[in-house]
């Protein structure tokens, strides 16, 4: 069985679509939505229709945590979630061009304790967003899980996640070189924080509507145009959907162009709606 395991955050996203430029110190009419969030959870849900998927993470013991866990399970994800504390929340400010800014309060997502030995059983690929390596007990747990996966010969994929987060993980490059993931996803800003190309790793650089660049371990590269999207309203979760598309195609043995094609196809599905998943709208602010 091909199984993708994803470790990291499951939180609620509070997505804010201002109707115009934010009036600092005053009021800006907005539309507000609530949806499932967390990079790891987003990848798991996007991949679940295509490949067997397991989520590893920590979420609060509150009703919000109950709802988020139920949503993952309903999407076909095998959820192995520890429960303690309060569920995290991320405020996502999305400008009129679809670019988003995150204001995270990770809550229980940063408090993942050591996972069970069998959580990596039957796993074909372990995917780790950099958020899971950013502080709290989760960072220690994820490092241990990466070491276990490496020792067991389980391929690893990484997502650089955020240039600001990378700057707060001082040994991230050393960790990447030690783990030697089969693939590392980054956008153009994140790639500038990394010494690409990387030994033994395929680096996939996303650059919005510009072509996706695939940097291969042998020094060669592949550039794939991004299909035209009529309207981009919210890029939240697009990178996670991209990773899910690539990984599911890779696990099926598809070639590089096919991996990029599926990644683009899944990413474009989330560009017109608020957040990375089904949302409910709140009253205008």
- Render each residue's pLDDT in the chain as its tens digit; 285 residues: 589 999 999 999 998 888 888 888 888 889 898 989 999 999 999 999 999 999 999 999 999 999 999 999 999 999 999 999 999 999 988 887 777 788 989 999 999 999 988 999 999 999 999 999 998 899 999 999 999 999 999 999 999 988 889 999 989 989 999 999 999 999 999 998 888 778 889 999 998 888 999 999 888 999 999 888 777 777 778 899 999 999 999 999 999 999 999 999 999 888 777 767 665 544 333
Q: Give the pLDDT score at 195.
A: 82
CATH code for the domain of 18: 3.40.1190.20
What pLDDT is stored for residue 265 in this prediction? 92
**Closest alpha carbon to 183 in 245, 123, 100, 139:** 245
How many CA atoms lie less than 13 Å away from 231 in the CB half-sphere?
5
CA angle (237, 260, 193) in 5-degree steps: 65
Closest CA to 47 of 123, 149, 141, 132: 123
Strand bridging mode 87-94 / 11-18? parallel
Nearest 5°: the CA angle 18, 279, 285 is: 30
Q: From 201, 256, 264, select the one nearest 229 (Cα to Cα).
A: 264
Question: What's the rounded Cα separation, in Å, for the pair 64 and 248?
Answer: 29
**Residue 49 counted as domain residue:** yes
128 domain-assigned = yes
Position 285 in a domain: no
Q: Please count the structural domains in the chain.
A: 1
Any domain includes 106:
yes
- Cα(222)–Cα(36) distance, integer angstroms: 33
87/73 Cα distance (integer angstroms): 17
- Is residue 75 situated within a structural domain? yes
Rg (CA), the chain: 18
Side-by-side strand order, sheet with 87-94: 100-107, 87-94, 11-18, 30-37, 279-281
Report CA dihedral (196, 202, 203, 205) to the nearest 10 degrees: 130
Q: Pick the closest to residue 120 from 92, 93, 151 (CA basis).
A: 151
Check residue 282 and give its pLDDT.
44
178 is a domain residue: yes
Distance CA 27, CA 49 (A): 41
In a domain, 117, yes or no: yes
CA distance 105 to 85: 13
Q: Report pLDDT for 57.
A: 97
For residue 278, what pLDDT is reported?
A: 60
CA distance 198 to 36: 33
Helix (H), strand (E) at residue 221: strand 221-224
The CA–CA distances, whole Å, from 283 to 103, 248, 274 equal 20, 37, 15
Q: Is the dihedral of CA 153, 157, 160, 165 positive or negative?
A: negative
Domain of 7, in residue numbers: 3-280
What Cα–Cα distance (Å) separates residue 234 from each residue in 18, 41, 99, 243, 266? 12, 18, 7, 17, 14
- Helix 63-74 / helix 39-47 crossing angle, nearest 10 deg: 30
76 lies in some domain: yes
């Amino acid at each position: 069985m091909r199984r993708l395991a994803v470790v990291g955050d499951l939180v609620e996203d509070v997505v804010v679509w201002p109707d115009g430029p934010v009036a600092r110190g005053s009021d800006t009419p907005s539309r507000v939505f609530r949806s499932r969030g967390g990079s790891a959870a987003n990848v798991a849900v996007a991949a679940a229709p295509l490949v067997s998927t397991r989520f590893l993470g920590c979420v609060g013991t509150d009703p919000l945590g109950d709802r988020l866990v139920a949503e993952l399970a309903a999407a076909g994800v095998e959820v192995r979630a520890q429960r303690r504390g309060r569920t995290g929340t991320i405020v996502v400010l999305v400008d009129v061009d679809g670019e988003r800014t995150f204001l995270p309060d990770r809550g229980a997502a940063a408090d993942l304790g050591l996972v069970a030995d069998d959580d990596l059983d039957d796993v074909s690929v372990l995917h780790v967003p950099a958020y899971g390596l950013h502080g709290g007990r989760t960072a220690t747990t994820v490092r241990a899980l990466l070491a276990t996966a490496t020792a067991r010969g389980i391929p690893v994929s990484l997502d650089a996640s955020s240039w600001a987060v990378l700057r707060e993980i001082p040994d991230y490059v050393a960790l990447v070189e030690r783990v030697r993931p089969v693939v590392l996803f980054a956008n153009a800003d994140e790639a500038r924080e990394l010494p690409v190309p990387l030994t033994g790793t395929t680096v996939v650089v996303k650059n919005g509507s510009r072509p996706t660049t695939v940097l291969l371990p042998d020094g060669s590269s592949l550039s794939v145009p991004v299909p035209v999207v009529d309207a981009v309203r919210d890029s939240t979760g697009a990178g996670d959907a991209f990773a899910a598309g690539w990984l599911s195609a890779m696990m099926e043995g598809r070639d590089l162009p096919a991996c990029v094609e599926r990644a683009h196809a899944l990413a474009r599905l989330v560009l017109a709606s608020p957040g990375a998943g089904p949302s409910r709208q709140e009253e205008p602010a």
